[in-house]
Amino acid sequence: MGSSVFCYVVIFLLRVDGKVSQTSRYLVTVARQPMVLRCEQDLEEDSIYWCQQEMEQEPKIMFYYYKEHETWINSILNNFHGGLPSSSFCYLNIKSPGLRNSTTYLCAVGG
């Protein structure tokens, strides 16, 4: 029996007054299979954040958009790509998930 490595990603949203939604709450995938996490908001906020939270650690901002300008905080995240097709929708693309990417990803909005 062959062994497969699965990545377990938990997606939560930090809620602010209004609505922030996502396409799925939990996502399990096979290692090295690209995946996309989505975040949508109707708050008309100028800022959208993607954070990563390792087990028993504080969340760390990976990158954020402010008025459609993308700013990356952590330079070692070359396995990730973000996108902001509109001011109310953004995504996080994990190009080749591995065990080190098995963590919680958070989407937050706010000004």
């990158």: which residue's tokens? 63
Question: Which residues constitute the domain of residue 36?
Answer: 14-109
Q: Answer whether residue 86 is part of any domain.
A: yes
**Assigned domain for 73 exists:** yes
Summary mean pLDDT of the chain: 76
Tell me how long the chain is: 111
- Closest C-alpha among 70, 93, 76, 92 to residue 13: 92
Q: Is residue 83 part of a domain?
A: yes
User: What CATH number is attached to the domain comprising 90?
Assistant: 2.60.40.10
Q: CA distances (Å), 23 to each of 55, 91, 95, 98, in order?
A: 23, 11, 18, 21
Residues 6+ apart with CB under 8 A from 85: 91
Q: Is residue 1 part of a domain?
A: no
Is position 2 within any domain? no
First to last CA, the chain: 51
Structure confidence by residue, pLDDT tens digits, 88-109: 889 988 888 877 777 888 888 8
- The residue that leads in pLDDT, 57 or 10, is 57
Task: With a cut of 50, say whether residue 13 has pLDDT above it.
Answer: no
| pLDDT tops 80 at residue 12 | no
Residue 9: how many CB atoms within 10 A of its CB? 19
Whole-model pTM above 0.85? no
Looking at the domain assignment, is residue 4 inside a domain?
no
Residue 27 covered by a domain: yes
Could you tell me if residue 79 is left (phi over 0), alpha (psi between -120 and 50 degrees) or otherwise beta?
alpha
Residue 87, phi-psi category: left (phi > 0), alpha (psi -120 to 50), beta (remainder): alpha
Give the per-residue pLDDT at 2: 46
**What pLDDT does residue 51 have?**
86
Number of compact structural domains in the chain: 1
Residue 23 domain-assigned? yes
